[in-house]
Structures are given as C-alpha cells and as structure tokens.
Amino acid sequence: MTTFAGVSGSQLRQFIEQVEYLEEQKAALASDTREVFAEAKFAGFDVKVIRQILKMRKMDQDELRELEEVLDVYLQALNMSSRATKEVEEESASPSSTSHTETKAEAA
C-alpha cells in the first residue's frame, strides 16, 4: 500500500479491519446474550431481575451495600419493604393511648 500525506495505507487498513472484526464479534456476542436471556425467560425466570442482578454483581461491595441501604430506607419510607410492613403491623397491634390521626407533615 502507499503512503499519502504521512498516512500508511496498509497500517490504516489493518486498523479498520481489526475494528470491523471486533464489531462482528460484538454483534455475535450480543446475539448470544439475547439467546441466553430468551432461554432464561422460557425457563420461567424474570429477565428484568436477572439484568438487575448482573448490574449489582458488577458493583464493588461498598457501592452495593450503600445502594441496598438507601433502597431499604426509601422502601420503608413508602411502607413497601417487608421490614416496614412488619413494623407497621406491630405498631397497629400494640395498644396505644394516642390518636392515629396524622398531620400532613407526618404523612409525607
């Protein structure tokens, strides 16, 4: 190949061919990944949950722990976690001398 304006045609062709090869490999891997997700779905697994688990496995332990703690706090604030539900059930089961009416600030 020739050199034009300081650019080696053969070297440029090598880079382009390497990128093309890698793009082909990436497409093949994406196809394989879709097939695995399809198999998991067919087997009865929730693909959204699997994707979330994959994201979580990529996190370092401190980052994952922080995410779980914040998520738990938010879920408890919304009375959506099992821990929050249990606490609410315990509070309602215990006799209380105070009124159960809430102000807007307490509800928020």
Into how many domains does the chain fold?
Answer: 2
Is residue 28 assigned to a domain? yes
Q: Is the pTM of this model over 0.85?
A: no
Q: Which of 22, 21, 23, 1 is nearest to 12 (CA)?
A: 1
Task: Give the tens place of pLDDT for each residue, 11-48.
Answer: 899 999 999 999 999 999 999 999 999 999 999 999 99
Which 3 state secondary structure label does DSSP give 4? strand
Q: Are residues 51 and 66 in the same domain?
A: no
Is residue 36 assigned to a domain? yes
Task: Give the tens place of pLDDT for each residue, 51-82.
Answer: 999 999 999 999 999 999 999 999 999 998 77
Q: Are residues 51 and 65 in the same domain?
A: no
Which residue segment(s) compose the domain that 40 sits in?
A: 9-58
Q: Phi and psi (nearest 5°) for 3?
A: -115, 130
The answer to whether 1 and 13 have CB atoms below 8 angstroms apart is yes
Report the alpha-carbon distance of residue 82 to residue 86 in Å, rounded: 6
Q: Are residues 41 and 64 in the same domain?
A: no
Is residue 106 assigned to a domain? no
Is residue 96 assigned to a domain? no
Q: How many helices (H) and strands (E) does the chain have?
A: 5, 2
Place of tokens 């090869």: 21
